[in-house]
Every structure is written in C-alpha cells, then in structure tokens.
Amino acid sequence: MSLEIITSDLLAGSRHAFFTRKGGASSGVFRGLNCGPGSADQNEVVTMNRARVASAMGVPPERLLSLRQIHSTVVVVVDGEAWSERPEADAAVTREPGLGIGILTADCAPILFRDGAAGVIGAAHAGWRGALEGVIEATVEKMIALGARREDIRAAIGPTISQRAYEVGPEFFDRFRAEEAGYERFFVPGRGDRLLFDLPGFALGRLRAAGIEAEWIGHCTYSDEVRYFSFRRATHAGEPDYGRLISVIRL
C-alpha cells in the first residue's frame, strides 16, 4: 500500500505532507505508518517507516528530523547538522534547503509553517498545554528571527482530535477561563459536568491572533481509525500503546 499524503493550499510552493497511517510496515496496534521512535513498536520497523516518509519527501533518512516532544514552548533552530539524538522541544524552524522537519502526533495538532518569500519554514506540536502556553507564538518569533515576515507566514493545522471527540472536565475549562475569559468560546457542554474542547479551533484562534493566515485541514484523528492514530481512542479501547503520525515540511 502506498503512502497517503494530505497537503494544504496555504503551503503551496513548499514540499510538505500530513501523512496518514496508510502505507507503513508496522503491525498490531501500530498497524501502518507508525513513525514514533518513542513507541513500543519495533525499532527497525519504525526506521523503515521513517525511511519511506523521507523518500516521499525527497530527503535522505538522516535528514528527516523530529523532536523528543515534551509539551513545551521550546523551539529549536535547525542549521543542517545531523542530530546525534533528538532534542527536547516542541517546534523547529529552519532556512536550510533539503532538510525535512517533522512533528509526531496522535491527537495533538501538528502545525506546519511557511514563508515562501524569505525561505523559512517551521513545524510545531501543539497539544492543549503547548498551545495555551505559547508554542505557536514562539515558533512564529523564531521564524521572524531567521528573516521571515509575519505578514508572509502561512500555516496549516493537520489531522487533530476534533471538538466532538475531546471531552474534558470542569477543571480543564477553569484553567482556560483563568487565562482569558474569551477562551470560553472554545468549549461546548457535554454529558453531565463534562465539556467538549475545540483544540483545532483554539490553535487556529492563536495563529490568527498572532497575525498568521492559517487553516485547519478538517480531519479528526479520533473519528477515523482507518487513517489516523489516536491516543485517546487507544486509551478508551484499553490498548497498551498507540502509533504516531508524522507531518513534515521542507524547503
């Protein structure tokens, strides 16, 4: 089975891809294109999957770089040197041609950025914590430091858990409301005292508030088991682990 690639018109002009789980070599709960070195999948199979992604992106496997994501606002600048190990961070930016920067997700929002005029790209992992604490804005600022202009940056949010599948408790809601009263608009009532949180809508709101033209491609990871891995779906099913999707951009 060939790899399935989803793209965004906003990022046209840069090679990028939101990969689904189709076309990979993993089996069991990781069935498909699991690209997560931190999963319990077989290392050699994850390496094979990542090599397929690298080939699709037109880069050598050693130039497909991803991070040890920690739900932070840390952004690294990639200068083209090979990494001996993945840095702990949740976003990366570069102006280095021929290098793919990737983000791993399984419900959180993968966000790819491009300033075509300046030749600067970025990729960020935005779960609720990172988005709330400012990983999106930190990525934009690092891109600007490399020569990008805010008005020229475009961003696309890839496959992400949608609001209808993201049930949270009142304490979660209170944390957002304490940050800014207007954030209440990203929640709707659920069952009992539960609420439903709009992660892609929240990320999109933060991008637009930062002056970035952006879109969400509209794919829900939780609702489409055939195409996407989902941490929350795996948890609800009592599965021991879950695969990681990869989203990649390169100049």
Q: What b-and-e string marks burial along 106-139, b requiring 16 or more CB atoms within 10 Å of the CB?
A: bbbbbbbbbbbebbbbbbbbbbbebbbbbbbbbb
Residue 166, in any domain of the structure: no
- Whether 82 shows a pLDDT value over 70: the answer reads no
Lowest mean pLDDT among 32-36, 130-134, 177-181, 229-233: 177-181
Residue 225, in any domain of the structure: yes
* pLDDT (tens digit per residue) in 40-66: 999 999 999 999 999 999 999 999 999
**pLDDT on residue 228:** 98
Distance CA 95, CA 38 (A): 27
Residue 25, in any domain of the structure: yes
* pLDDT (tens digit per residue) in 203-233: 999 999 999 999 999 999 999 999 999 999 9
Q: What b-and-e string marks burial along 58-80, b requiring 16 or more CB atoms within 10 Å of the CB?
A: ebeeebbbbbebebbbbbbebee
Distance CA 178, CA 109 (A): 22
Residue 196, in any domain of the structure: no
- Rounded mean pLDDT of 6-10? 96
Q: How many domains does the chain divide into?
A: 1
Residue 192, in any domain of the structure: no
**pLDDT on residue 207:** 98
- Whether 118 shows a pLDDT value over 70: the answer reads yes
Residue 78, in any domain of the structure: yes
- Domain, as residue range, for 10: 5-161+213-250
Mean pLDDT, the chain, whole residue set: 96
**pLDDT on residue 81:** 73
Distance CA 227, CA 145 (A): 36
**pLDDT on residue 84:** 76
Q: What is the CATH number of the domain that holds 67?
A: 3.60.140.10
**pLDDT on residue 227:** 97
Residue 187, in any domain of the structure: no
Q: Is the pTM of this model over 0.95?
A: yes
Residue 193, in any domain of the structure: no
